[in-house]
């Protein structure tokens, strides 16, 4: 299988576009999956540079509703006329960032065009194997003590704004040679909780690779230490954390975790 990070906040070469967003292309056993679409059409331009044909994508998996993961979907739908879009129904709820007295919408840009595009959407509520060995997890088991890193993110419910508990979030895992490859978007619900959910469900303890965000860029030092402590409980061989993870956190994670931890730049491709 091959994993290519099509867009990230940072890039490994000036030939690529970068933006505050995330998009990952996975080619696995003849199935092509686009995991998130970044903020704009930058992932499409970068795919061309990498020689990747996005018209071959079978599924788009949206990790959650925030615009930096879903903003490029409209451009993709113009390019690819057949791929199914897998998401949770909670993605359609409006989401807000409220900080320093400034309120702004940060949710799914195409939410108001749901009916027009409904034939492309596949809403998921329980764990599903969408292709042999490829699982989508819409239910994330959280520790009772789990704390979220952002207290300024809200969701609109019944015309009221309430603190977001990120019920819109899902993640993806692949079984490869009796080992796990796990894909996170932002891991608002905790990367450690995603790993535990996958390990418990699939009964596989060997984690070959973890790719995506950990949402620790704005977390406190204590939250970083707590996450590292939890990640030590897993047998992680390698990880490419990026986007909202905070590149400044990678050296400490690499030092304290047994596996190899690196930053997953836009343009990076990994063959497994």
- Whole-angstrom distance, CA of residue 41 vs CA of residue 57: 15
Q: What is the pTM of this model?
A: 0.97
Query: Could you please report the per-residue DSSP string of 97-114?
Result: EEETTEEEE-S-TTGGGH
With 0-12 / 13-18 / 19 or more C-beta atoms within 10 angstroms meaning exposed / middle / buried, residue 251 is exposed
Pick the closest to residue 63 from 97, 83, 90, 44 (CA basis): 90
CB of 76 closer than 8 Å to CB of 135: no
- Whole-angstrom distance, CA of residue 189 vs CA of residue 176: 25
Per-residue pLDDT of the chain (272 residues; tens, 9 = 90+): 999 999 999 999 999 999 999 999 999 999 999 999 999 999 999 999 999 999 999 999 999 999 999 999 999 999 999 999 999 999 999 999 998 778 999 999 999 888 888 899 999 999 999 999 999 999 999 875 666 667 889 999 988 999 999 999 999 999 999 999 999 999 999 999 999 999 999 999 999 999 999 999 988 899 999 999 999 999 999 999 999 999 999 999 999 999 999 999 999 999 99
Domain architecture of the chain: domains with CATH: 2-271 (3.60.15.10)
Sheet with 160-163: strands ordered across? 102-105, 95-99, 153-157, 160-163
């Amino acid at each position: 299988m091959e994993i290519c990070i099509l867009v990230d906040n940072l890039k490994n070469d000036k030939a690529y576009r970068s933006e505050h967003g995330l998009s990952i292309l996975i080619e696995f056993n003849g199935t092509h999956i686009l995991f998130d679409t970044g903020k704009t059409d930058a992932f499409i331009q970068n795919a061309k540079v990498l020689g990747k044909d996005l018209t071959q994508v079978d599924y788009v998996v949206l990790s959650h509703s925030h615009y930096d993961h879903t903003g490029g979907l409209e451009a993709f739908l113009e390019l690819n006329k057949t791929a199914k879009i897998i998401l949770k129904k909670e993605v359609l709820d409006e989401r807000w960032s409220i900080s320093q007295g400034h309120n702004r919408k940060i949710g799914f840009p195409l939410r108001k065009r749901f009916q027009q595009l409904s034939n492309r959407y596949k809403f998921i509520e329980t764990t599903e194997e969408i292709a042999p060995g490829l699982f989508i997890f819409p239910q994330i088991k959280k520790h009772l003590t789990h704390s979220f890193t952002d207290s300024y993110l809200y969701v609109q419910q019944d015309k009221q704004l309430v603190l977001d508990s990120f019920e819109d979030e899902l993640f993806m895992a692949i079984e490869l040679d009796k080992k796990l490859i796990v894909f996170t978007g932002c891991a608002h619900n905790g990367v450690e909780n995603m790993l535990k959910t996958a390990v418990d469900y699939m009964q596989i303890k060997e984690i070959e690779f973890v790719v995506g965000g950990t949402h620790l860029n704005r977390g406190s030092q204590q939250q970083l230490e707590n996450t590292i402590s939890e990640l030590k409980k897993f047998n992680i061989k390698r990880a490419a954390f990026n986007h909202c993870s905070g590149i400044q956190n990678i050296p400490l994670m690499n030092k304290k975790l047994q596996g190899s931890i690196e930053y997953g730049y836009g343009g990076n491709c990994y063959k497994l």
